[in-house]
Every structure is written in C-alpha cells, then in structure tokens.
Structure 1
Amino acid sequence: MTTLPINARKPHLFPKLPLPFRDAIDAYSLELKLLAMKILGMMEKALKIDGKEITELFEDGTQSMRMNYYPPCPQPEKIVTNGIYRSIEHRATVNKLKERLSIATFYNPINKEFGPAHSLVTEKSPALFRRIAAKDYFKGLFARELGGKSYLDVMRINN
C-alpha cells in the first residue's frame, strides 16, 4: 500500500477501510517520514558525506507499507515445506497461542540516480558500484528471482 505522497495512494482499491484506520495511516506515515529523514541525516553525518546528498535523494520519495497477519499456529515447530521452498532472508516467527501483525515500511527515492555518494569517491577510494537510475534499479530488483540474497551484486563494478 502506497502511503506517501498522499496523491499516489489508490483509495479505490481499499474502499472499505475504516476511517479511523485511514487517519492512523496518515499520522503514522508522516511521523515515519520524519523519522526516516532523521536517520538518513545521521547516516550522512556518520559517513562524513558532504552536504545533504542522502536526504535530498529521499526527500521527495515514495513511502509504502506491507502488512502481514499471522494467526495463531497450532504447530509452530513444524517445517511446512520440507525445504522445497527456499525462504528469503525475512522470516516470521509464529506463536501457538497469539496472533502476530508485522508492518514493514519502505521509503524509496523516485526520479533520482543511485550510486556511491559523490563525496565518498576519491582516487584513494574509487567507486565500487556503478550509478543507475532509480527506475532501472527497481525494475531489475523486482524482475529478479529470489534465489540470491542481494541485488547489490548487480551494481558492483568488476575491477
């Protein structure tokens, strides 16, 4: 579900969402954007990146949420697929007695270019990853199979 910017939402897909839930999403989305920008600013400072290269990359980005509901599981100790389905890195822990709700939030830049921060690339520290338009990065990311652990290897410059 796209949460920000508000004009990118598709409320017609969720016509029966109760108004209190929509209000909660509005408030949560805006607070989470502030938190995300604060964390990105701290990353800039910790990495000694000049200017606001990271925060500017994300300031007009999109935010989306994914919510997963896990009901109580009568036998949480079992392995359901017997190893046939290989799980990706994220795994949910189920409980025999209690339900679980997981909310993941993603913040993505749009109409920008990904790559090493310009201020971190020097003669002594050359770029290890290539630059790519955000739309091309996401196109490749979502087109790949889940066999590997990281899409970042596609970005790596082979020296």
Structure 2
Amino acid sequence: MASSQPLSPSHGSLQELAKEFKLGVPDRYIQEHRETTFVSNSSSPLPSIPVIDLNDFIISILESNNDQLKSLRSVCHEWGIFQLVNHGVDKLLVEKMKKETIEFFNLPLEEKLRYKLKGGDYQGYGQTILHSQDQKIDWADRFYMITNPLHRRKSHLLPDFPPSLRDTMENYLQELQKLAMTLFSLIGQAVNIDKQEMVDIFEDGMQSVRMTYYPPCPQPDLVMGLTPHSDAAGITILLQVNEVQGLQVKKDGVWFPVNFRPDAFVVNVGDILEIMSNGVYNSIEHRATVNTTNERISLAMFFNPKLEADVGPAKSLLTNTGEPPLYQTVVMEQYLKDFFSRKLNGKTFLEKMKIRNCESSET
C-alpha cells in the first residue's frame, strides 16, 4: 500500500484536542462542501434500512425456500446495507467488546500513543492519514490494524494490547469470522455464485478492524466524523459501541441517518462484492456525523478475499448467468495497492475497474 503522511505528533489525539475547542473548529477540520441530510416530515417519513433475521435465513435454507435469498438479493441491490439480528454472536461477548473498546479510548493519552501511527504506515492509533498538506481532517480518532493473515499483524499492536482487551478482541474476531463466512455464503447464493467459490476466495482472507472515537464538536455542521466513501472490502460488519447515532448512508442521491437497533450488527456491501456480483450489488456510500454534546464510538470489521485471490466478477456467476464481465480482474494484493496509491474513494475506484463501453448490470 502507498505510504502516507500522518499528522504530526502534536496532533496525536483529537479526543484531547477537542477539549480545547470550546468556541470554534480549526480550519483544517472544516468541510466546505458538505451535502445536507434528509429531514423527515409528516409527508416524507424517514426511510429505514432493512432488517434481516439470520435465523429466518437458516430455516429458509433448510426448507429449500428461496424467498429469503430473493429478499437478500433485493436488499443488497437496492440498499447495499442492512441491520442483522439473531446473528448468533454471544451477547455477553458483544457487551464485553463494547466495554473494552470504551476503556481503550479512556486510557491515558500516553498509553494510547504507544500504538500511534508511524511515518509511512496506516496501521495504529491517530487521526486522518494525510496525502496532502491541504487535505481536510475527519473529526475522529481511529485505531486501525490488520488482524488476518496472522503474519501481517504488527507486533506492537494487538499482541501488545492490555490483556483483557487483547483476549476479548481475539474471541470477537473468531466469532465475527464465522459470521462473515455465513454471510458470504448466503450473499453469494442470492446472486448465483457457487458456495465453493466464495469459500475459496474469502475463507482465511484479509481481515482488519477499526475502532473509532468521535468527540463532541462545538460546530458539528462544519465537520465530518468520517468522509463520504464506500468500503474497499467484501463486507463490513459494524458494531455501534455506545448509544449515540451518527452513521448516514446515501440512497437515491440523498443522505439519511441509520438508526441502530441495540441488538443488531450493521452489515454493508463493499466494493469487492459489487465487483464479484458483476454490478448487481451496491457498495453503499456512507459517512459519519458528530454532535455537540455526546461522544460516539464504533467498531468496524472489514472482510476481504485472500491476498493472492483474483478480484473480479465471480467465474461461477458468469457461467451460471451467461452475462459478460463488467469489471476487470486483478489479484487482491494488487487491487489494494492500486486503490490506496490512487488515493480515491471507493465509487471512483470502481469506475476505474469497469471494462470500457460496458453497460451497467441490471437485476
């Protein structure tokens, strides 16, 4: 991946700096062209992202009923995001993961800076990674790291965590890996990709995690907690750590908020699945906003193909449907290098991946 210039050490923690910004926001955080959010009224109620019950899917598959798969295909095509309930991950583990994440951000600054971003790297604790000196900075602190394959882990990050956070994180990663493979199987079946092809591509693939802390902001309408983007991933599984909302998605050209259910994960389709589905699925564009009074904390896990796997329209899908490929095929590791070296957001990069003169895929 391309090297990037992190913020200087004096800017190591927005969580600490934000305590000083009582009256205004420094220019480097101000977003000049922020699009407005949908406001509901009696004639235009607030749209709500779909909720999927994993138990219903398992029962449906056992009964050879394809209605749930058709619904999943529709959700991933129309929305590219859904809330997943009855997901099977132990509630006590989820609650412990939330608690440990909050405690990480409550550590003294000198403790957190043990994991700070190093020059030219993108893994560790810090603020927005800078590609240019005039780049705007998100109103957030982040901790990002690769967790799989194991040999790609940084020795000073997860292995060096406080024992309780490390052990909880390891258990959480294992459970989320199982859940992700179940979802890949179902999402693949829904669009006519053979189950074995999904296993070959995603099992023991590249996985990473990002913990994000969004401090309160005196002028929240001027900043972004997370710049609009789509994820360069297969799927993302997001855990809302505290009860503060802030995630927004863009549908039909309009931004509107996601209201989290306390018992759910939010799952969104990433660029890789849009490519693998040959354009049937939608890698949803999303962003995060902040508020004046409450911090927001989230934990996202990103699931990708093996680094040596080919990324392109799924071979079995092309065979099963007879459709021509709409996207190029590249090796995953090269895909990531190209994505980050071009410094593009997901949707722009997907356009680069499209084969010229191809029409968009329709369901």
Deviates more, 1:125-134 or 1:9-18: 9-18
Task: Measure the CA separation in 2 of the matches of 1:119 and 1:147.
Answer: 28
- Aligned residue among 124, 135, 144 for 2:333: 135
1:121 to 298, 308, 318: 318
Which residue identity lines up with residue 146 of structure 1 in the other structure?
A: L
Q: Work out the CA distance in 2 between the residues paired with 1:17 and 1:147.
A: 31
- The amino acid that maps onto 1:132 is V
Q: How does 1:24-39 map to 2 (within 5 A)?
A: 24-39=168-183
* 1:84 corresponds to: none
2:301 is matched with: 105
TM-score with structure 1 length normalisation? 0.82
Asked whether the equivalents of residues 189 and 195 of structure 2 are also in contact (C-alpha less than 8 Å), the reply is no
- Secondary structure in structure 1 of the residue aligned to 2:208: strand
For the pair 1:12 / 2:209, whether they are aligned, the reply is no
> Superposed, which structure 2 residues align to 1:61-80 within 5 Å?
61-76=205-220, 78-80=221-223
Partner of 1:88: 228
Residue 73 of structure 1 deviates from its aligned partner by 2.2
TM superposition shift of 1:35: 0.9
Instruction: Please tell me the residue identity of whatever aligns with 2:356.
Output: N
- How many pairs does the alignment contain? 153
| CA distance in 2 between partners of 1:16 and 1:59 (Å) | 26
Question: Residue in 2 aligned with 1:155?
Answer: 353
**Which whole-Å deviations, capped at 9, do the CAs of 1:46-83 have from their partners, x for residues lacking one?**
1122341122201121211111111222332x3149xx
* CA RMSD in angstroms, aligned pairs only: 2.4
- Structure 1 pair 67–124 and aligned structure 2 pair: CA distance change class (3 A): same
Q: TM-score, normalised by structure 2?
A: 0.39
Q: Is the 8 A contact 1:37 1:59 kept in 2?
A: yes
1:127 positional shift = 1.2
Greater displacement, 123-132 / 104-113 = 123-132
Candidates 344, 350, 363, aligned match of 1:146: 344
Instruction: Please give the alpha-carbon distance, in whole angstroms, between the structure 2 residues aligned to 1:52 and 1:148.
Output: 27
Unaligned runs of 5+ in 2: 1-144, 230-285, 358-363
Residues 148, 125 of structure 1: alpha-carbon distance in 2 compared, 3 angstrom cutoff: closer
- Taking every aligned residue pair, what percent have the same amino acid on both sides? 46
Distance in 1 (CA, whole Å) between partners of 2:160 and 2:311 is 37
Q: Structure 1 pair 28/131, CA: closer, same or farther in 2 (3 Å)?
A: same
For 1:130 and 1:38, the matched residues in 2 are separated by: 26
| C-alpha spacing 1:33/1:101, structure 2 compared with 1 (3 Å) | same
Q: 1:99 to 1:16 in 2, by over 3 A?
A: farther
